[in-house]
Amino acid sequence: MTLESDVSVSLGEFTLQASLSARDGEVVALVGPNGSGKSTLLRALAGLAPMTGSVRVDGQDLAGAAPEHRNVGWVPQNAALFPHLSAQDNVAFGVGGRRGRDTARQWLRRLGIEDLAGRKPAQLSGGQGQKVALARALARRPRLLLLDEPLSALDVSARVDVRRALRTHLADYDGVTVLVTHDAVDAIAFADRVVALEAGRVVQDAPPAELTRAPRTTWLAQLMGANAFLGQVSGATLLVEGGGSLALAEPVAGPAPALGVVPAHAVSLHREQPRGSARNAWQVVVRDVVPAGARMRVQCDGQPGVVAEVTPESVTDLRLRDGEQVWASVKATEVTLVLL
Amino acid sequence: MSSRTPVSMTAAAAVGACLLALPLLGVLVRAPWSDLGPLLTSHDTLTALRLSLECSLGALAISLVLGVPLAWLLARRDFAGKGVLRALVTVPLVLPPVVGGVALLLAFGRRGLVPLHLAFTTWGAMAAEAFVAMPFLVLTVEGAIASLDDRYEHVAATLGSSPLSTFRRVTLPLVMPGVAAGAALAWARALGEFGATITFAGNLPGQTQTLPLDVYTTLDRDPDAAVALSLVLLVLSAAVLVALRDRWRVSGR
C-alpha cells in the first residue's frame, strides 16, 4: 500500500501545508516542535480535520471520504480507550460481531496481554493501555496506521516494553505507518524516513541517518543530533558494526542485534586521552565542523564515527579543525539501547 | 487563615435560609399526620397521583426522545442559527409558565398554528409539562456531552462507526450520568408543573388535574387534604434531590 498526500489545513491563524508520501510497509516519523502541526496532519489523514488537497492511498483519493469509510487506524495521544468497555471490547469495537471477539483475543494474545482482556481501561497501566490501543487500531487491518506519540506518556520501563511491541508489530504490518514522536530514539529506531515539520511546513524529509548527520534547522539539530550505533549487544558491551564498541550501563542478555543511541551533546571531545568517569573513550579524526544554532556540530571519523555537539569556545580551545586527531568520550549511562 | 465575616452578611444569609426553610417546616408541622392514610388513599387523590405520574413520565419520555438529540446537536455540531436555537431552548426556563400555556394554546390549540387539538386533554397536560421540563434535560445533557473528550468519538469514527452508531455505542454510555441527572431534574419539574398545564390543559379531574392542580383546587374546600398532597410532592422532590447528589458529582467532573 502506498500513501501520497498533499494536505492543507487552516485553523485560524495557523496553516498547515504538507506533502507526505510513503511506500508499502514504510514507517515515517513525524517530528517537530509543539504547534508545528504534527497532530493536525495525522487528524487530516484520518479525516478528522477539515482539509483541502488530496490523501491518496493506493491511488484512491480519500480526501472526500468520511473517517468511518477510510479504514485508517488512529491512535491518539494517551490512547483514548473507551472507558466503559473492557480491553477486549475496545479491540473488537471496529470488527464487530462474533468475529470481533475472536480477533480481539488473537490481537491481545499477540501483544502478550490476553489475561487483561476483561479489564476496563481504568484498571490498565499506561503501557498496557497503549498496547490495547495499538491492537484496537491494527485489528481492522487498516491501510494506514497513524500513531500520535504512542510512548510519550509512559514511564521508562513501560516505554521499553511498548517500544519493543511497536517494533515487532510495525515490522509485520504491510501498510504505511505515520508516527508522531518527540523522541529521537523512536525516530531512529522505527522510521525508514523522518519528516520534520516546523510552523506547518515540511522542513526536511530524509532517512534518519541523514537527519542525524545533517539536520537542517536548529530545532532539528537539537532533537535529532544523535548518534545511532548499530551492532550486536552482548553483556554490557555493544559491538558496533564496522568496528569499535561501546560499554553500556547495564548488561543485556545477548547476543542480540541492537541500536545504541547517544545524543550529540553527550559526546565530549578532548585533546588528550581523558581520565574521567566516562567508560568509553576512543580516538577520532575531525572531518567537519558546522554551526547548529548557538552550538557547533563536529563530525568525526573513527571506530565508530561520531557526531559531537560542543560550544564555539570549545572549538577554539581544542583547535578543532578538519583532519585534527582528538579523543571522543561517552558515559555508559548516556547510551540508550534499543533491542532490534 | 481566617477572615472576618461581616455581621450584615451573616444576618442576610440567615434570613434567606429561613425564607427557604420555614415554608417547608410549615408543611411538615401542619401536616395532618394522623389522617394521612385516609387522605392520601381517597379516590380523588389516587386519581390525581396516577395522572401526575402518567403525565410527568410521558413528559420525561418526550424530553428524552427529543431533548437528547437536541443536546447532541448543540454540543457537537456547528450550524447557522445555533445561538438562536440555544436561546430558544432556554426560553421556557425564564418564561412565566402561564405565558407558556397561552403560547401552547396559540400553537397547538383548536385554532392554533398547528391544530393538534391538544388543549384540555391529558396529552395537552403532558405537552405542557414537556414544554417546561425539556430545557433542564437539554442543558444538562449538552453540558455533559460538551465536556466529554471528543477523541472517543473520533476514534470510533476511524474504527468504521457511523455517527449514529458512535452516538449509541460511545457518546450515550459515557454521558449516562449527565442524562440521568437531566432526567431527574426534568421529571421533578414536570411533576410540579402548574401554570402552563392549567392554562393549556385546564383543570379537569381525571383528565388534566394533576397533583399540583389538585392541591390548588382542594386548598379552599379541604385544607388538610391540600397539605397532605403538598407533603407528597415535597417528599418526591426531596427524593429527586437525594438521587441527584451523587449524579452531580459524576457529571460535574
Question: What confidence tens digit (pLDDT) does each residue in A154-174 have?
Answer: 887 888 888 888 888 888 888
Residues 139-168 (B) with a CB less than 8 A from some CB of A: 149, 151-152, 154-163
* Contact state of B158 with A68 under an 8 Å Cβ cutoff: yes
Residue B231 has pLDDT above 60, yes or no: yes
* Contact state of A76 with B151 under an 8 Å Cβ cutoff: yes
Contact list, B149 vs chain A (CB under 8 Å): 80
Mean pLDDT of B32-52: 90
Q: How confident is the model at residue A5 (pLDDT cuts 50, 70, 90)?
A: very high
CA angle B31, B35, B36 (to 5 degrees): 60
Residue B252 has pLDDT above 60, yes or no: no
Exposed, middle or buried: residue B203 (CB in 10 Å: 0-12, 13-18, 19+)?
Answer: middle
Contact with chain B for residue A93, Cβ under 8 A: yes
Query: What's the confidence (pLDDT) of residue B251?
Result: 41
Query: What's the confidence (pLDDT) of residue A265?
Result: 86
Query: What's the confidence (pLDDT) of residue A235?
Result: 87
Number of A:B CB contacts under 8 A? 58
Distance CA B99, CA B106 (A): 11
Query: What's the confidence (pLDDT) of residue A169?
Result: 86
Contact with chain B for residue A83, Cβ under 8 A: yes
Which position has the higher pLDDT, B244 or B228? B228
Query: What's the confidence (pLDDT) of residue B250?
Result: 45
Residue A307 has pLDDT above 50, yes or no: yes
* Contact state of A82 with B155 under an 8 Å Cβ cutoff: yes
Q: What is the mean pLDDT of chain A?
A: 89
Q: What is the mean pLDDT of chain B?
A: 91
Residue A90 has pLDDT above 90, yes or no: yes
Highest mean pLDDT among A149-153, A303-307, A323-327, B52-56: B52-56
Give the C-alpha distances (Å, rounded to integers) separating B146 from A63, B71, B153, B155.
27, 9, 12, 17
Determine which of A34-48, A129-143, A268-282, B106-120 has the lowest per-residue pLDDT on average. Answer: A268-282
Determine which of A158-162, A168-172, A275-279, A327-331 has the lowest per-residue pLDDT on average. Answer: A275-279
φ, ψ dihedrals at B122, nearest 5°: -60, -40
* Contact state of B157 with A80 under an 8 Å Cβ cutoff: no
CA distance, residue A39 to nearest chain B CA (Å): 12
Mean pLDDT of A135-151: 93
Mean pLDDT of A278-287: 88
Contact list, A137 vs chain B (CB under 8 Å): 158-159
Mean pLDDT of A316-328: 87
Mean pLDDT of A61-81: 93
* Contact state of B159 with A72 under an 8 Å Cβ cutoff: no
**Residue B6 DSSP label:** P
Mutation target for A interface from B76, B77, B150, B158: give the one with most A CBs within 10 A: B158
Q: How confident is the model at residue A1 (pLDDT cuts 50, 70, 90)?
A: confident
Which position has the higher pLDDT, A215 or A245? A245
Mean pLDDT of B17-40: 91
Question: What confidence tens digit (pLDDT) does each residue in A190-225 have?
Answer: 889 999 999 999 999 999 888 877 777 777 777 777
Contact with chain B for residue A68, Cβ under 8 A: yes
Distance CA A56, CA A143 (A): 11
The β-bridge relationship of strands A144-148 and A176-180 is parallel
Mean pLDDT of A122-133: 94
Residue B253 has pLDDT above 50, yes or no: no
Partner residue facing A80 (CB), from B151, B160, B163: B151
Mutation target for B interface from A55, A69, A74: give the one with most B CBs within 10 A: A74
**Residue A72 DSSP label:** E
* Contact state of B152 with A80 under an 8 Å Cβ cutoff: yes
Contact list, B154 vs chain A (CB under 8 Å): 43, 46, 48, 67, 74, 76, 80
Share of chain A above pLDDT 90, in %: 45
Which position has the higher pLDDT, B146 or A174? B146
CA distance, residue A140 to nearest chain B CA (Å): 7
Q: How confident is the model at residue A120 (pLDDT cuts 50, 70, 90)?
A: very high
Helix, strand or coil for residue A82?
Answer: coil
Mutation target for A interface from B77, B151, B155, B250: give the one with most A CBs within 10 A: B155
Distance CA B70, CA B80 (A): 15
CA distance, residue B239 to nearest chain A CA (Å): 28
Strands in A14-22's sheet, in edge-to-edge order, are: A60-61, A52-57, A3-11, A14-22, A201-206, A193-198, A27-31, A176-180, A144-148, A72-75
Mean pLDDT of B64-91: 95
**Chain B residue at shortest CA distance from A144:** B158
Partner residue facing B154 (CB), from A48, A73, A84: A48
Query: What's the confidence (pLDDT) of residue A142?
Result: 93
Determine which of A129-133, A138-142, A251-255, B82-86 has the lowest per-residue pLDDT on average. Answer: A251-255
**Number of other CB atoms surrounding residue A93 within 10 Å:** 23
Mean pLDDT of A84-93: 96
